[in-house]
Amino acid sequence: MQHHHGPESGHVHDHSIHVAQDKLKQALVLAFVVLLAEVIGGLWSNSLALLSDAVHMLTDVFALFIAWWAVRKSQSPPTGAMTFGYHRTAILAALFNAVTLIVVAVVIGTEAYRRLNQPEPVNSTILLATAAMGVIINLYIGWGMRNASHNLNIRSAMLHVLGDAAASGGVILGGLIIMTTGWTLVDPIISILIALTVAAGAWRVTRDSCLVLMEATPPSVEFSQVAKAIQSIPGIRSLHDLHIWSLSSNRHAMSVHVVVDGCLTVAHTQRLIQEVEILAGERFGIGHVTVQIECPESPHDEEDMFALDRNWSRH
């Protein structure tokens, strides 16, 4: 049995981690500035939409902090107790952030419903000025993190920020309507739209995080294609116990038992293992590969091999 770490390990990955850390630190500072401005502006203008945006911004600040901490923690080396290291820390952070977003959406929706029944006056000028600042800064933060969006942890933080930018845009629209028509009911209506937008983004991150934690086959990898590609390698008679999963959103792993034609020499076995590793890494982006070579006479469960044939399709 042999383990292999693919090209995603190394200097390129380390550089991307440091870049992500720097972007998250900058985003955290800017998000905190927007939070203070929206709290002050929301209380001053008596706008639920702006206060809802401020609550969302509070979760942005927390989300960015958790994302930054998770990126740092994920670099910790493996230990005897944590043999894969701490890559899943980022997934747990993404899941936590997504759940907090869902809670925020419920709170905003509840308060918006109350204001629909009991409308309150809103100072549209203060609302517009504060929301405009929120849009500009949040778009700047989100744009800065776009190149790291393949990382589920950073993507969840980016969704927080971009969701808040969209929410601030909605607040601006509401402020303009209130300023021109005096129709204050638009404030809770926009708050409900913000809540729905937040909940939709949170659901997607929650689903993706749960897939990683359940060790599902990564969406970017087609299980049947991997199985067929391995079995097409000359010298491999059959395979069983094929497992493909994610250590984090951008680190995939695979283990497989392959049955070869006859008992091979050590040198031939090593070449065969390397072929499987190169195939998994270059064709399917799987960087951590474990291959067990078996002779036809080796005991293995024939049911497992049959199950593999039946379940090559993702669905």
pTM above 0.75, yes or no: no
Question: DSSP assignment, residue 76?
Answer: S
Strands of the chain, DSSP E: 2-5, 236-248, 251-260, 288-294
19 band by pLDDT with thresholds 50, 70 and 90: low
Tokens of 282: 């270059």
For 72, what's the count of Cα atoms within 13 Å in the CB-facing half-sphere? 11
Mean pLDDT across the chain: 76
- Asked if 229 and 254 count as a contact pair (C-beta separation under 8 A), the reply is no
pLDDT: which is higher, 286 or 49? 286
Q: Which amino acid is at 282?
A: E
Q: Under CATH, what is the fold of the domain 13-76+85-214?
A: Alpha-lytic protease prodomain-like (1.20.1510)
pLDDT of residue 242: 92
| Alpha-carbon span 73 to 96, nearest angstrom | 16
Residues 135-192 pLDDT 10s = 888 788 777 776 665 666 676 667 767 777 777 787 788 878 888 888 878 877 887 8
Alpha carbon distances (Å) from 203 to 96, 103, 156, 175, 280: 12, 11, 10, 29, 31
Helix, strand, coil percentages for the chain (3-state, nearest 5): 65, 10, 20
| Alpha-carbon span 225 to 74, nearest angstrom | 30
State the span(s) of the chain assigned CATH 3.30.70.1350. Answer: 223-294
State the span(s) of the chain assigned CATH 1.20.1510.10. Answer: 13-76+85-214
Tokens of 146: 């776009």
| Alpha-carbon span 261 to 186, nearest angstrom | 72
Query: Residues with Cβ < 8 Å from 105, sequence gap 6 or more?
Result: 195, 196, 198, 199, 202
Domain 223-294: CATH superfamily is Cation efflux protein, cytoplasmic domain (3.30.70.1350)
Quick check: 6 pLDDT over 50?
no
Quick check: 40 pLDDT over 80?
yes
pLDDT of residue 301: 58
Residues 258-306 pLDDT 10s = 988 776 778 888 889 999 999 998 898 888 899 998 887 666 555 554 3
Residues 199-219 pLDDT 10s = 887 888 888 888 888 888 888
| Lowest pLDDT segment from 13-17, 29-33, 254-258, 267-271 | 13-17
